[in-house]
Chain A
Amino acid sequence: MSRLAAVADTLPTDRLPTHLLKKVFPGHWSFLLGELAMFSFLVLVATGVYLAWFYDASMEVVPYEGSYEPLVGVEVTRAYHSVLDITFDRPAGAMIRQTHHWAALVFVASIVLHAARVFFTGAFRRPRRLNWTIGMTLLGLALAAGFFGLALPHDLLGGTGARIGHAFAVSIPVIGPGAADVVFGGEFAGDGMMHRFWLFHVILLPLAIGLLLAAHLSLVFLQTHTQYPGGNRREDNVVGAAAWPGYALKAGAAFSLVVGVLLALGAVVEIGPIWLYGPFDAAAATVPAQPDWYLGWVEGALRIVPAIDVVVFGREVPSPFFVGVAFPALVFAVLYAWPFAEARVTGDHDPHHLLDRPREHPVRTALGVAGLAALTVLLLAGSHDLQALLLRVPVDSLTWFYRWVVLLVPPIAGVVTWSICRSLVRAEELTP
């Protein structure tokens, strides 16, 4: 009996079903990325409950009365007022709010990294195609939750973001104006807007994320985890640490680390200073105006895609539709369809539990890198006004620069990746 088992035996774990305790989870650092996303979500829920306790989703305008001197007497909405109160007049409010914001950034980042790991190692293949689609849905819901969360404080930056979202909604052919009416509760910046956003951000989206996360984890549990090839790891076994005690303790340690780091960030590193952005004003926009990183790729596309309003049957389909609705929809459609399309192209319909090495699938790896490169260029283009200021060049020149870069870099990145994969494999074949 190992020493770890001896420690574990002192706990009354024999009352739990043993097959659950003996469930084996392979250990690799890249398998922690999904856990990181889950732990950030737990932090988001915990801090979110505290914020929802004091948040007021009203757009009634009142003079600010609170302890942030520069804004005293300024006409603000109750929503903005309540977030200032959380920040300046509630116990630990600023820290909790900043931890929530940091956790949101880490949540989406870890989902993206986790999805990239799953993609490049081929973990999405049968029998895990359903779980891949659940994961992509979770990513989409996380982006939506982030969008509404940024708008809730009803500050100038969040309000500008909501305005962009409204323009996207309105631009959808046929149903656009009606759909915008439903989501935004009437005309833009109407009295019901924050109440709708509150419903989405605080109730519907977290509920959907929680339920799908449960389904996602259940499938991982029932289908067993994938593992990298090598050693005694085969298709028909799982090699790693049993759920109890090894895996549970490691996961607990990781949870503790994640909460600690996010709390430290929230305590010390300022994020989302809405008191500096000022209250929402329909006649003003912040300069510069950038969304959080995970929406930056759409922002970049908005800046560099030329005006391409199209007229169909005498009706207008404006460029925001192509950039803000059709383009993200296309990205998600490709991601959703990938496992099924790849199986069809390669003819490989077998179930797989051993992961691929990215170098051994150069085409998939190259296409994945090209896609990530395109999104990264767009993300960079999302702050090109700041870069123009920094480099002292006209914004219009940078617009043209990024138009070229977004067309040229992805294919180059793809070809380079493909040849690196090939030479890595060849080098391995040469060494005995």
Chain B
Amino acid sequence: MKALLVARVVVPAVLTAVAGAVAVGSLVLGAEAPVVGLAAAFALVAGGVTVAAGVHRLAPAEPDVETREQKGPRLRRRQLLLGAGAGTAAAVAVAVAFPASRRVSDATDRLRTTHWFDGARVVDADGELVRADEVADGELLTVYPEHAVGSVDSQAVLVREGEDRFSPDAERMDWTPAGIAVYSKLCTHMACPLGLYQQQSGTLLCPCHQAVFDLLDSGRALQGPARRALPQLPIRIDDDGYLIARGDFSDAVGTGFWGRP
């Protein structure tokens, strides 16, 4: 019995004291935070073991017993509570719905449009104008409208491939001048920015949930959880060789939402 007491209570108690002393000592001496923290953590664990073992050791042989009142169901109170809960929920719903409904139409309009418009000049992430002949074949570039560099919903990817590699939809035949196509950079699944371009297949992969888009075929969704094609930006090349947008994207960018079409 005595040996057990020593093993289970006295040893952890001594360890607690030592670790506690180390924690305080290292704190006073200005040791690194993890050292102080580890010593304190050790003291807490050993202290917990000491108390738990002590309680166990000293606990009465017979457990404590308490009688439990037997109460039947009290339906009237329950119904009253449920009624009050439903009333409160309805009041909260109404209070939220009114201001929310006024914001929905504004917010939806903002989701539908980006900062691109007919005549917006295409710039890179540093705000430099992009010249068509400066983009190398197989290059993927993140671009913005000149007046909204860094804008979340206007960010786009520019890719240049040989003109014969593109097979765009009929109405988009002139959207890829000089083999340059520009698409929204936001995945149509969860609006993650797309990143990993595979030049061989002309496909772009979303790092978040692995949707794959075909940049050579009007941004069509090929694999994974996205259904809609990447919205494409109609572009032209001006007389000085710079890229210019001919309007906003072909569709709302990013995740779908109520009121998108």
Contact = CB atoms under 8 A, between A and B. Distances in A.
A206 interface: no
A174 B258 contact: yes
A150 interface: no
B63 A267 contact: no
Nearest to B223: A396
List the 6 shortest-distance A-B pairs measured between CB atoms, nearest first. A318-B256, A260-B44, A307-B227, A2-B60, A256-B48, A178-B104
B111 interface: yes
A84 to B, nearest CB: 16
Given A92-B33, A241-B59, A289-B208, A282 B190 contact: no
Contacts of A353: 68
20 contacts: A94-B34, A95-B34, A127-B71, A171-B258, A174-B104, A174-B258, A177-B104, A177-B110, A177-B258, A237-B65, A239-B64, A257-B45, A260-B47, A287-B207, A302-B225, A315-B259, A316-B256, A351-B71, A351-B73, A385-B210
> Counting chain B CB atoms within 10 Å of each CB, which of A282, A287, A317 scores highest?
A282
Nearest to B44: A260
Given A7-B58, A256-B45, A285-B207, A170 B257 contact: yes
Interface string A20-32: 0011100100000
Given A95-B34, A163-B191, A249-B55, A256 B228 contact: no
Contacts of A395: 210, 224
A236 to B, nearest CB: 5
A316 B257 contact: yes
Contact of B195 (A127, A259, A284): A284
Interface stretch (A138-146, A181-189, A359-367, A371-379): A181-189
A178 B37 contact: no
Contacts of B178: none
A240 B63 contact: yes
A319 B225 contact: yes
A267 B52 contact: no
Interface in B204-240: 206-210, 221, 223-228
B152 A92 contact: no
Contact of A173 (B55, B58, B65, B258): B258
Given A174-B258, A353-B68, A396 B224 contact: yes
Contacts of B42: 260, 264
A357 interface: no
A195 B189 CA distance: 27
A23 B206 CA distance: 58
B130 interface: no
A250 B72 CA distance: 33
B76 interface: no
Nearest to B101: A178
A261 B185 CA distance: 44
Interface string B28-69: 000001111110111111111111101100111101111110
Interface in A156-190: 160, 163-164, 166-167, 170-182, 187-189
B67 A283 contact: no
B255 interface: yes
Interface string A304-336: 111111010011111110000000000000000
Contacts of A182: 99-100, 103
Interface of B: 33-38, 40-52, 54-55, 58-61, 63-68, 70-73, 81, 97, 99-104, 106-108, 110-111, 125, 142, 150-153, 155, 185, 189-193, 195-196, 206-210, 221, 223-228, 254-261
Contact of A263 (B40, B50, B185, B255): B40
A303 B225 contact: yes
A101 to B, nearest CB: 14
A43 to B, nearest CB: 11
Interface of A: 2-5, 7, 22-24, 27, 91-95, 99, 126-127, 130, 160, 163-164, 166-167, 170-182, 187-189, 224, 232, 235-242, 245-246, 249-250, 252-257, 259-264, 266-268, 282-289, 302-309, 311, 314-320, 349, 351, 353, 384-385, 395-396, 399
A170 B111 contact: yes
A399 B103 CA distance: 38
A129 B128 CA distance: 64
Contact of B192 (A93, A163, A171, A246): A163
Contacts of B97: 175
A257 B100 contact: no
> Counting chain B CB atoms within 10 Å of each CB, which of A27, A232, A238, A349 scores highest?
A238
Contacts of B70: 235-236, 351
A253 B153 contact: no
> Counting chain B CB atoms within 10 Å of each CB, which of A3, A170, A261 scores highest?
A170
Contacts of A163: 190-192
> Counting chain B CB atoms within 10 Å of each CB, which of A176, A349, A385 scores highest?
A176
Contacts of A245: 55
Contacts of A180: 107
Contacts of A175: 97, 100-101, 104
Contact of A314 (B36, B190, B261): B261
Nearest to A129: B78
A92 B168 CA distance: 58
A239 B257 contact: no
A236 B38 contact: no
Contacts of A283: 125, 142, 150, 155, 185, 193
A169 to B, nearest CB: 9
A4 B185 contact: no
B191 A188 contact: yes
Nearest to B33: A92
A286 B60 CA distance: 58
Contacts of A167: 189-191, 254-255
A293 B18 CA distance: 37
Given A282-B155, A302-B209, A263 B37 contact: yes
B44 A263 contact: yes
Contacts of A160: 192, 208
Given A254-B52, A264-B41, A385-B210, A241 B142 contact: no
